[in-house]
């Protein structure tokens, strides 16, 4: 597994995604998946595996960012652990089911789903759409059911679930800081289950790169983790000094462009 020119691309992507995640609180998967898909295509990965490998690799990187984020929010007492425990069974089951679904969906189908999902996230980000707290949290069974849905979608889009968990908890009258902290904790079981699922479902696939473990490409994972951990703290520090609202709108536009470009590349093959 000797380094090559593509490792530079993975490292650069990690620097950018880590910085933006720290600055705007947006999961790195939103930018990693479309860029990884384009890099994998350019490096000769078979078309039928491009999106699956991008999703699996991106999901594996979330493990490391989730641990870091979880520790920070727990130190500030912002994690509602009873809610996390209620979410967890549904989250794990839904995420595993989502990876099975992804393994049986074509690259084109996954690209269409991802582009639509990211476009919705971009709209929410650009216009700062937030639901008003209008109901109480459901019981454990209800949270497990909601968690399963969040898990399925998170697996298909390789995100930590924050784009869905935070609005849901806010809708259930949870203060936004505690919603964000709890969502960070929920991101860890999503990442763990998603990584296991993409590893398992890709294990017997033919035509994957030699350094891939299932649908997780190790060189990209290594570069992304190392470089994103360098720039995420920088972005977090600058979050209090830069015009975040304006940057969110610009980043939302970038996400739509990247997702659209990825979709165009996939559909044109």
Q: Which of 178, 161, 28 is nearest to 92 (CA)?
A: 161
Secondary element (H or E) of residue 155: helix 140-157
> Half-sphere exposure of 178 toward its Cβ, with a 13 Å CA cutoff?
13
pLDDT band at 230 (very low <50, low <70, confident <90, very high): confident
pLDDT at 109: 95
Task: Please tell me the distance from the alpha carbon of residue 184 to that of residue 188, in angstroms, as a whole number.
Answer: 7
pLDDT at 3: 59
Q: What is the DSSP string of 48-99?
A: GGHHHHHHHHHHHHHHHHHHHHHHHHHHTT---HHHHHHHHHHHHHHHHHHH
pLDDT at 48: 93
pLDDT at 155: 94
pTM (predicted TM-score): 0.92
Q: Which of 112, 104, 87 is nearest to 164 (CA)?
A: 87
Q: Which of 239, 227, 140, 229 is nearest to 180 (CA)?
A: 239
The larger pLDDT score, comparing residue 101 to residue 210, is at 101
Reduce the DSSP state of residue 217 to 3 states and report it.
Answer: strand
Secondary element (H or E) of residue 213: strand 212-213
Token pair in block for residue 93? 């089951």
- The residue assigned the tokens 């384009």 is 38
pLDDT band at 217 (very low <50, low <70, confident <90, very high): very high
Domain spans, the chain: 9-267
Task: Please tell me the distance from the alpha carbon of residue 167 to that of residue 120, in angstroms, as a whole number.
Answer: 13
Q: Report, in angstroms and rounded to the nearest whole number, the Rg of the chain calculated over CA atoms.
A: 17
**Helix (H), strand (E) counts: the chain:** 10, 2
- What are φ and ψ of residue 217, in 5° steps? -95, 110
Q: Are 97 and 153 in contact (CB under 8 A)?
A: no
The mean of the pLDDT values for the chain is: 89
pLDDT band at 140 (very low <50, low <70, confident <90, very high): very high
Q: What is the per-residue pLDDT across 91-129, written as a single tens digit (0 to 9) for each?
A: 999 999 999 999 999 999 999 999 999 999 889 888 888
Q: What percent of the chain has pLDDT over 70?
A: 95
Task: Please tell me the distance from the alpha carbon of residue 56 to that of residue 47, in angstroms, as a whole number.
Answer: 15
């Amino acid at each position: 597994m000797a380094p090559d020119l593509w490792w530079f691309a993975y490292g650069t992507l990690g620097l950018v995604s880590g910085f933006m995640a720290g600055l705007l609180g947006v999961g790195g998967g939103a930018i990693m998946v479309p860029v990884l898909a384009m890099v994998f295509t350019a490096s000769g990965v078979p078309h039928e595996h491009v999106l699956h490998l991008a999703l699996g690799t991106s999901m594996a990187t979330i493990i490391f960012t989730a641990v870091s984020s979880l520790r920070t929010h727990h130190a500030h007492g912002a994690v509602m652990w009873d809610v996390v425990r209620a979410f967890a069974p549904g989250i794990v089951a839904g995420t595993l089911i989502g990876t099975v679904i992804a393994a049986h969906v074509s690259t084109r189908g996954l690209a269409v789903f991802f582009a639509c999902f990211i476009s919705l996230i971009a709209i929410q980000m650009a216009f700062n759409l937030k639901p008003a707290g209008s109901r109480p949290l459901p019981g454990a069974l209800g949270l497990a059911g909601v968690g399963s849905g969040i898990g399925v979608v998170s697996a298909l889009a390789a995100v930590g679930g924050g784009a869905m968990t935070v609005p849901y908890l806010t809708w259930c009258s949870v203060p936004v800081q505690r919603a964000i902290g709890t969502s960070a904790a929920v991101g860890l079981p999503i990442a763990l289950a998603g990584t296991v699922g993409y590893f398992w479902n890709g294990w017997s696939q033919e035509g994957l790169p030699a350094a891939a473990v299932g649908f997780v490409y190790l060189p990209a994972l290594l570069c992304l983790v190392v470089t994103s951990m360098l720039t995420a703290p920088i972005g977090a520090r600058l979050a209090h000094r830069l015009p975040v609202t304006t940057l969110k709108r610009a980043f939302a536009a970038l996400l739509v462009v990247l997702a659209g470009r990825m979709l165009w590349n996939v559909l044109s093959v």
